């Protein structure tokens, strides 16, 4: 292995600013959205697919391991180097030229380094948007690598559902560039290999470009936050709203009283929906429609649909909003929890009818083992996803990492073994949860996944080995 040789070779070929080695320059590439840390020997910043291919060829020749990195917002460490300083980060941040928007086809062609906010800004000029709603601002390549879901999965699905094609540089020693799919909405002329890349956590090669399906921006939108008397009745309310509004229902988010209090306490500028009243559990509901249904009509329909739930005492209070103030509360939760103490994040998915049983059951199990932990859960319960986040308060004394290991063990074991759920709803696979991947993904599935990975990347790339071997 020759890191020095690789750095010198690429530095001379790719030009100024393409290869970073100084500690100060590397710092912002060493952490992700969970503030996990890693140490890369260098960061390579190519400007096009040809330069990505050149980088992978040279890295193979020098036997240097490469890890792709998008916007640095990932939550499982898949875009970070380990602590050995023997790997290099390939950042796609300079693959960020203005996207090509085709308003008639309702598609976008975007570089892997383009941020979601920039994509939506360009699409908005045509009354369109990419309907993956996240609290972070990831790159297009990172969205694909993680197969991100987000708050509007209920209506629009994940990235995979909105991915029409991509350009990929293989880790085969040759830097082979392949295009999988394209701007066509329907195409059965070849095996749909692009969907294998989505969710592969950077282990199948480097995505350099994507063709994305866009959606019309809603002309009318209504948000409501409801305080529930009993969290266990949230799934029943969800089903009733789905039957009442069909495709108009675009989001149904659950927020525990603890998570809501943390957000409002950490960000005093936020509007308190319930004016200081105690809340056990809240749901954030969003309805979206085209121009044929105005916001007044949405508000009237929704208000009438709530009457029986208020009369039954299920809904204690309801606050309606035609703006974004309620979403601001929801998106403030992750940062607020970090301010509360040490966060133990568990991203689980279950059948919707099991969510609230799981929530109560596992909270009780944790209290019996680690009573100082505080549950601050929230998430996309409309699609069965739950951010079962636990906080070790700053007032509880020094934090022992063994506490996090024990808590995750309890949560994930319950989710998978007792409830038939998943230990990774939408965050993907990476160093943070690879042990649970090895434990809970069946060996034949791991073996098949690993064989497919080797076809795309015969030279290992990234942080994930889908055979289940630690990397």
DSSP string, 290-355: -TTS-HHHHHHHHHHHHHHHHHTTSEEEEEEESSSHHHHHHHHHHHHHHHHEEEE--EEE--GGGH
Q: Which structure tokens are listed for 111?
A: 């570089």
Q: What is the pLDDT of residue 447?
A: 97
Q: What is the pLDDT of residue 118?
A: 98
Q: What is the pLDDT of residue 37?
A: 84
Q: Which structure tokens are listed for 193?
A: 């290999």
Query: Distance (Å, rounded) from C-alpha 440 to C-alpha 429?
Result: 12
Q: What is the mean pLDDT of each run of 10 residues along the chain (471 residues)?
A: 88 93 94 87 97 97 96 93 93 97 98 98 98 93 95 94 98 97 96 97 97 97 97 97 96 97 96 94 97 94 96 96 90 95 96 97 96 95 96 92 95 98 95 96 97 97 92 76
CA angle 31–71–142, rounded 5-degree value: 115
Q: What is the pLDDT of residue 94?
A: 98
Distances 93 to 43, 48, 207, 379, 422 between C-alpha atoms, Å: 11, 10, 12, 29, 31
Q: What is the pLDDT of residue 363?
A: 97
Q: What is the pLDDT of residue 160?
A: 97
Domains of the chain listed by start with CATH number = 3-91 (3.30.43.10), 100-216 (3.30.465.10), 220-332 (3.30.70.2190), 337-418 (3.30.70.2740)
Q: What is the pLDDT of residue 135?
A: 84
Q: Which residue shows structure tokens 């799981």?
A: 358
Q: Which structure tokens are listed for 6?
A: 């690789």
Q: Which residue shows structure tokens 């034949």?
A: 444
For the entire predicted model, the pTM comes to: 0.94
211 strand-pairing partners: 109, 165
Q: In the Cβ-directed half-sphere of 433, how many Cα atoms lie within 13 Å?
A: 26
Distances 185 to 109, 211, 348 between C-alpha atoms, Å: 13, 10, 31
Q: What is the pLDDT of residue 469?
A: 86
Q: What is the pLDDT of residue 296?
A: 94
Distances 215 to 130, 266, 415, 427 between C-alpha atoms, Å: 6, 34, 33, 23
Query: Distance (Å, rounded) from C-alpha 433 to C-alpha 415?
Result: 14
Q: What is the pLDDT of residue 36?
A: 82
**Edge-to-edge strand ranges of the sheet holding 163-169:** 100-102, 107-111, 206-213, 163-169, 177-181
Best CA proximity match to 346, nearest among 371, 368, 366: 366
Q: Which structure tokens are listed for 176?
A: 């082979």
Q: What is the pLDDT of residue 259?
A: 98
Q: What is the pLDDT of residue 2?
A: 85
């Amino acid at each position: 292995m020759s890191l020095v040789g690789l750095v010198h070779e690429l530095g001379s070929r790719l030009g100024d600013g393409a290869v970073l080695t100084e500690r100060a320059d590397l710092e912002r590439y060493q952490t992700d959205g969970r503030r996990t840390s890693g140490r890369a020997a260098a960061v390579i910043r190519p400007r096009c697919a040809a330069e990505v291919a050149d980088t992978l060829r040279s890295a193979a020749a020098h036997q240097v391991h490469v890890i792709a990195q998008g916007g640095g917002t990932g939550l499982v460490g898949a875009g970070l180097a380990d602590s050995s300083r023997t790997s290099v980060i390939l950042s796609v941040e300079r693959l960020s030229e203005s996207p090509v928007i085709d308003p008639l086809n309702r598609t976008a062609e975007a570089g892997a380094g383009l941020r979601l906010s920039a994509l939506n800004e360009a699409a908005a000029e045509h009354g369109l948007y990419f309907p993956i709603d996240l609290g972070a601002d990831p790159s297009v390549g990172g969205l694909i690598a993680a197969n991100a879901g987000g708050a509007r999965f209920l209506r629009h699905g994940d990235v995979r559902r909105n991915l029409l094609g991509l350009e990929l540089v293989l880790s085969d020693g040759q830097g082979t560039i392949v295009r999988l799919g394209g701007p066509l909405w329907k195409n059965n002329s070849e095996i749909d290999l692009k969907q294998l890349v989505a969710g592969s956590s950077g282990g199948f090669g480097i995505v350099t470009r994507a063709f994305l399906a866009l959606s019309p921006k809603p002309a009318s939108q209504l948000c409501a936050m409801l305080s529930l008397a009993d969290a266990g009745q949230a799934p029943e309310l969800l089903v009733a709203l789905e039957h009442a509004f069909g495709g108009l229902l675009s989001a149904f988010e659950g927020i525990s009283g603890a998570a809501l209090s943390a957000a409002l306490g950490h960000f005093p500028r936020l509007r308190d929906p319930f004016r200081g009243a105690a809340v056990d559990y809240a749901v954030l509901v969003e309805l979206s429609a085209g121009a044929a249904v105005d916001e007044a009509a949405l508000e009237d329909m929704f208000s009438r649909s709530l009457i029986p739930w208020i009369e039954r005492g299920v809904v204690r209070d309801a606050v309606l909003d035609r703006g974004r103030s309620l979403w601001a509360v929801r998106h403030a939760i992750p940062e607020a929890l970090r301010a509360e103490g040490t966060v133990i994040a568990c991203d689980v998915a279950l059948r919707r009818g099991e969510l609230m049983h799981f929530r109560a059951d596992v909270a009780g199990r944790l209290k019996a083992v680690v009573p100082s932990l505080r549950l601050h859960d929230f998430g996309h319960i409309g699609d069965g996803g739950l951010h079962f986040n636990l906080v070790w308060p700053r007032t509880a004394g020094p934090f022992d990492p063994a506490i996090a290991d024990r808590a995750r063990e309890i949560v994930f074991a319950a989710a998978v073994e007792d409830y038939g759920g998943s230990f990774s709803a939408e965050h993907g696979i990476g160093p943070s949860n690879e042990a649970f991947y090895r434990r809970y993904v069946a060996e034949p599935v791991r073996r098949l996944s690993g064989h497919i990975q080797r076809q795309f990347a015969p030279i290992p790339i990234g942080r994930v080995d889908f055979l289940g071997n630690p990397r």
